[in-house]
Structure 1
Amino acid sequence: MATVTTPTAAPRSVAPTPETPAWARWANHHRKWLFAAPAMVFVAALIVVPLAWTLYLSLTDAEGSVRAESEFVGARNYLDVLSDTDRFWPAVGRTVAFTGVALLFEVVLGMAVALLLWRPFRGQRWVRVAILLPLVATPVAVGMMWRLIFDPNIGLANQVLGWIGIGPQPWLAGQHSALPTTIFIDIWQWTPMVVLILLAGLTSLSDEPQEAARIDGASSWQRFWHVTLPLLMPTVVVAILLRGIDALKTFDILYATKGRGGGSFHEVETLNVYAYGLSFDYNEYGVSSTVLILFFLIIIGSMWALTYRRKEARR
């Protein structure tokens, strides 16, 4: 004779009773914050402590060693840095130029590639793998690889130009061509990241607006400009936010291709490279901390502007 088993109900959480201590009722009501509090405190300490120490150093004349005696100089470092038209402001300009140009090309190319990969086609999986290959290598390895390719004497780039009758170019060795070349390297490596983000956004879109626009006789460009792009705009803003902040902080590629000071004429010296040189080449920790604090404020301002733009895009 078969036995019949009766399913048992899952145990319910016991609600606090009036006899439960007040602290236990409070803990039960705020349990999600209590469980997350240790991690939040740890992360906050990792951010606040180094930032506070850097801010303190920026108000002193620390040099030679951070443990050496230093005097409090107040805002003198900030006044000196902000009045430096030889190194600081050119570094700011290069940082803005590097970030702006690289971000523009990465978003435009990323959008184009994402649209090509949006619809299924034969061999799509292999194409996606090939596009994502630049993300596999580290930025230092990528910088060293392109440094060999762009070598003015033995580099492959000048050999290819010679095959089509164009003379050799200085590339990374040129005072005016070094920054555009490093921008190209950054675009080559990080466009696939933008492709991934935008492709994820495209695959989440509904097909109904596209079908309705197609039935109304809209062309491919009209469907993209008036339907796809507005629906995808929040994802585009996310891609710009993530990649823009990362591009602002670029250091690996620049240092791997040009070395100290961003080259002999500081041709690719951004704020990151400038602050690194002040700290580890000249041991001017007070001034370098000032540059880092100002750089931090630039990043925070950029994050706020992009986040505000994201909120506007959602409306």
Structure 2
Amino acid sequence: MSTLAERPVTLVAEVAPPRGAPSQKVYWPFVIPALLTVGSVIVFPWAFTVWMSLHEWNVGGTRQFTGLANYARLATDERFITSIGHTLFYTILAVVLPLIFGTLAALIFNTRLPFRGVLRGLFVMPMMATPVAIALVWTMMFHPQLGVLNYLLSLVGIGPQGWVFNSATVIPSLVLVETWQWTPLVMLIVLGGLAAIPLEPYESAAIDGANALQRFRYITLPMIAPFLMVAVIIRTIDALKSFDIIYAITQGGPGTASETINLYLYSVAFAYYDVGYGSAIAVVFFALVIALSLLMLHLRQRTKWTDVQGGA
């Protein structure tokens, strides 16, 4: 008995994979449907668009391979070059103005206002309206004789304006609609940043005697900078591809004064039925959007969360 107890016992544990254990290859069947969906919905349409841009192809006519001729044609197309300027001008205004007014609204709604929740709900209502409905309402408001905007200007002694019926003011007027609709989005983003700011820096600044402007410049603005960059990225991409509001109100007019790249692309492809040239415009426009998006993302990466510096 003692001999058996003193005998050393050697335990050999052989770890063997259980029978029928799944390998990594088993997961591929679950990935294939997603890859097929992405390929059919995203990759194939863009590959087909690039292929069409290399052809002279009118709807109902013959297709002829022309290589980069459509892209060379873009370089001398004055209407296309002008539409690029309109797009950039519209995008800059449609980003800057909602950013300014949205930040100001966020600062106001971040205070302890009475009925603050109700006022916030009313303020974000323009975001919920459909673009076509917004366009119809603002078209009536822009009317030179019957519009409410000229009536309000007359109350303060300002003469009637042409608004969207004047080539000099049509883009700023369209940006006014864009600002009214999307300022609440910027406000919500900035409100999230303001809610994340701790109270200690403000208490320290108050002890140091900093005024409201200094507190905003040295505490609030650096802390909400990442949120502002998110708002800039979202608004830039959205303004670049804006189509419905502009088309429903002006259809690119008067003349071509408000014709952006999107509207010119629509006219070439679906009014003139020049599918090949329209595809080339789509490819160049897509490259422009990608370039600006990468620039915005680069700036977003450089906007880091930083500690609030003292000495306000």
TM-score (norm 2): 0.87
- 2:73 maps to which residue? 80
1:126-165 equivalences under 5 Å are: 126-165=118-157
Find the aligned partners of 2:224 and 2:31 in 1 and give their Cα distance: 32
The one-letter amino acid of 2:45's match is P
Aligned to 1:59: 54
Could you tell me how far 1:36 is from its partner in structure 2? 6.5
1:35 is displaced (CA, Å) by: 5.9
The alpha-carbon deviation at position 23 of structure 1 amounts to 8.0
CA distance in 2, matches of 1:232, 1:146: 33
| 3-state DSSP of counterpart to 1:19 | coil
Q: Which residue of 2 aligns with 1:225?
A: 217
Report the equivalent of 1:8.
Answer: none
Q: How far apart are 1:158 and its partner, in Å? A: 1.7
Q: Once the two structures are aligned, what percentage of the paired residues are identical?
A: 34
Aligned counterpart, 1:258: 250
Q: 1: CA distance between counterparts of 2:83 and 2:134?
A: 23
Structure-1 residue corresponding to 2:186: 194
SS in 1 for 2:56: coil
The Cα shift of 1:20 comes to 4.4
- How much has 1:37 moved relative to structure 2? 6.4
1:294 to 263, 284, 289: 284
2:308 corresponding residue in structure 1: none
CA-based RMSD of the aligned residues comes to 2.1
Structure 1 residue 306: Cα displacement: 0.5
Shift of 1:24: 2.2
**TM-score, normalised by the number of residues in structure 1:** 0.86
Cα contact 2:86–2:260 (8 A) shared by 1: yes
Equivalent positions of 1:116-131 (< 5 A) are 116-131=108-123
TM-aligned CA deviation for residue 183 of structure 1: 1.0
Instruction: Name the amino acid aligned to 1:109.
Output: F
| 2:17 equivalent in structure 1 | 19
Letter in 2 for 1:73: T
Tell me the SS of whatever aligns to 1:24.
coil
Residue-by-residue CA offset, 1:192-230 (whole Å, 9 max, x unaligned): 111111111211222222222223222221121111211
Residues 282, 131 of structure 1: alpha-carbon distance in 2 compared, 3 angstrom cutoff: same
Q: Does 178-187 or 164-173 show the bigger shift? A: 164-173
In the other structure, the counterpart of 1:111 is 103
Q: Which whole-Å CA distance do the structure 2 matches of 1:272 and 1:170 have between them? A: 24
**Cα distance change, pair 23–226 in 1 and its aligned pair in 2 (3 A):** farther
Point out 4+ residue stretches in structure 1 off by more than 3 angstroms.
20-23, 33-41
Q: Which runs of 5+ in 1 are unaligned?
A: 1-16
1:239 equivalent in alignment to 2:231:
yes
Cα distance in 2 for residues equivalent to 1:106 and 1:18 = 63
8 Å contact kept, 2:98–2:179: yes
* 228-237 vs 70-79, which moves further: 228-237
Query: What is aligned with 1:42?
Result: 37
Counterparts of 1:187 and 1:193, CA distance in 2 = 10
| 1:34 Cα offset (Å) | 7.8
Letter in 2 for 1:148: M
**Are 2:298 and 1:308 aligned?**
yes
Partner Cα distance (1:198, 1:44) in 2: 36
Deviation at 1:119, TM superposition (A): 2.4
Flag the 1:114–1:36 CA change in 2: closer, same or farther, 3 A: farther
Alignment length, in residue pairs? 291
